[in-house]
């Protein structure tokens, strides 16, 4: 009997054993080793080594060889491909609209990313309030703490953390920050069902009030066409002078030029960034600001979370093979999944 193929696009690092167990007797798991898009397609087609692929596991590093899963790639996939199991919470590298038209379901890996990404945001927030990153640069430069002005640093206790997008990561950050304690407020399109009372909701009509309260605004909105530039110049201006902006979501959710202008004029007191609009390029202007704590997109870079993410992405594919569905179908495709 020929087993259906699951194509691993981008390396599996931690979940080799789990992969064997999940797909034993169920699928032939093949590693994609194409160095470019043309070879990728050639091998997906009849006679190619990926022929018979019904599901593709992918992570963002696969883009280095075959590019992102844009419309052109999705449209060119053979009709047998029914599922893309993305390893990552953010699936902005996949054109879900093209997938919908082609009847391909996409799953992602929420929950698995929450701890690591929330602790990254927490670190950026603490460093931004306390200027720890600048302190380390001062020490490493042989200047002990002479670069630091403690009159510009603050405790977190009693400050207000404003969360833009209360999904799993935003909520985990809220739980952590509550320990200081900080006041927690959040804004999202809808009030989050089941969110505790200590997370105060500010709807669209109270957005200005929400922004005005923030000592730190932490961004947790996914990147979609309607969220690109969501944190605009106008929004940044509504933050109080000296507020902190933290981003562990996607660089393009913030208008970067507006963020830089706000740092230049001292409207923003500090920023903590893990993500940038054109990764791995970082706008060199950002490097000039001593009050910017900058990380190279390390949000989920722990072996524990990487393993949880790999297993979760593979489990969605296994569930598709067995039951025709998975638990993490992305919101845009849930309707389509119920019709299958
Ligand atoms: O899960 C994601 O979307 C990430 O950005 C991983 O770092």
pLDDT digits (tens, 9 = 90+) for 79-88: 999 999 999 9
Active site residues: 250, 279, 297
Prediction pTM value: 0.96
CA–CA separation, 158 and 34 (whole Å): 53
Measured from the Cα of 275, ligand 1's closest atom is 5
> What is the rounded distance in angstroms from the CA atom of residue 282 to the CA atom of residue 251?
10
Looking at domain 114-294, its CATH architecture is 3-Layer(aba) Sandwich (3.40)
Q: Which atom of ligand 1 is nearest to the CA of 113?
A: 1
Ligand 1 contacts CB of residue 121 (under 6 A): no
**Does residue 211 line the site of ligand 1, with CB under 6 A?**
no
Task: CATH 3.40.50.720 in the chain: give the residue spans.
Answer: 5-112+303-337, 114-294
Q: Is the CB of 251 under 6 A from ligand 1?
A: no
Whole-number Å distance, alpha carbon 90 to ligand 1 midpoint, is 6
CA separation for the pair 281, 266 (Å, rounded)? 24
Confidence of residue 283 (pLDDT cuts 50, 70, 90): very high
Cα 80 to the center of its chain, rounded Å: 29
Question: Tens of pLDDT along 255-270?
Answer: 999 999 999 999 999 9
- The pLDDT value given to residue 27: 98
Quote the percentage of the chain above a pLDDT of 90.
Answer: 96
Residue of 68, 87, 90 with the most ligand 1 atoms within 8 Å of its CB, for mutation: 90
Q: How would residue 338 be classed by pLDDT, with cut points 50, 70 and 90?
A: confident
Model ipTM? 0.95
- State the distance between the two ends of the chain, measured CA to CA, in whole angstroms: 25
* Ligand 1 atom index nearest CA of 297: 7
Neighbours of 275 (CB within 10 A): 22
Per residue in 134-183, pLDDT (tens digit) is 999 999 999 999 999 888 899 999 999 999 999 999 999 999 999 999 99
- CB atoms inside a 10 Å sphere around CB 115: 18
Note the CATH number of domain 5-112+303-337: 3.40.50.720
State the Cα–Cα distance between residues 289 and 260, nearest whole angstrom.
9
Under the banding of pLDDT at 50, 70 and 90, the label for residue 340 is: low
């Amino acid at each position: 009997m020929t087993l259906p193929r699951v194509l691993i696009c981008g390396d599996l690092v931690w979940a080799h054993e789990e992969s064997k167990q999940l797909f034993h007797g169920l699928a032939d798991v093949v590693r994609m080793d194409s160095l470019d898009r043309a070879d990728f397609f050639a091998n997906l087609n009849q006679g190619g080594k990926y022929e018979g692929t019904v599901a593709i596991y992918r992570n963002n590093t696969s883009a280095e060889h075959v590019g992102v899963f844009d419309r052109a790639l999705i449209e060119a996939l053979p009709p047998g491909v029914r599922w893309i199991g993305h390893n990552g919470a953010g699936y902005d590298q996949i054109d879900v609209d093209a997938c919908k038209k082609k009847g391909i379901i996409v799953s992602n890996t929420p929950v698995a990313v929450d701890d690591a990404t929330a602790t990254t945001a927490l670190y950026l927030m603490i460093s931004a309030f306390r200027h720890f990153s600048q302190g380390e640069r001062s020490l490493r430069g042989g200047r002990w703490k002479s670069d630091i002005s403690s009159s510009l640093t603050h405790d977190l206790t009693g400050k207000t953390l404003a969360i833009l997008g209360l999904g799993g990561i935003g909520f985990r950050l809220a739980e952590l920050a509550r320990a200081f304690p900080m006041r927690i407020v959040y804004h999202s399109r809808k009030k989050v069902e089941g969110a505790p009372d200590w997370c105060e909701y500010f709807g669209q009509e109270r957005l200005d009030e929400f922004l005005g309260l923030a000592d730190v605004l932490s961004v947790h909105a996914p990147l979609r066409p309607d969220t690109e530039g969501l944190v605009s110049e106008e929004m940044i201006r509504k933050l109080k002078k000296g507020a902190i902006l933290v981003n562990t979501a996607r660089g393009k959710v913030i208008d970067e030029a507006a963020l830089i202008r706000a740092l230049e004029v001292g409207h923003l007191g500090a920023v903590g960034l893990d993500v940038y609009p054109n990764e791995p390029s970082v706008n060199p202007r950002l490097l000039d600001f001593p009050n910017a704590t900058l990380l190279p997109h390390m949000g989920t870079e722990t072996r524990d979370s990487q393993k949880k993410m790999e297993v979760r992405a593979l489990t969605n594919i296994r569930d598709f093979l067995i039951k025709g569905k998975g638990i993490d179908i992305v919101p845009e495709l849930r309707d389509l999944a119920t019709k299958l």
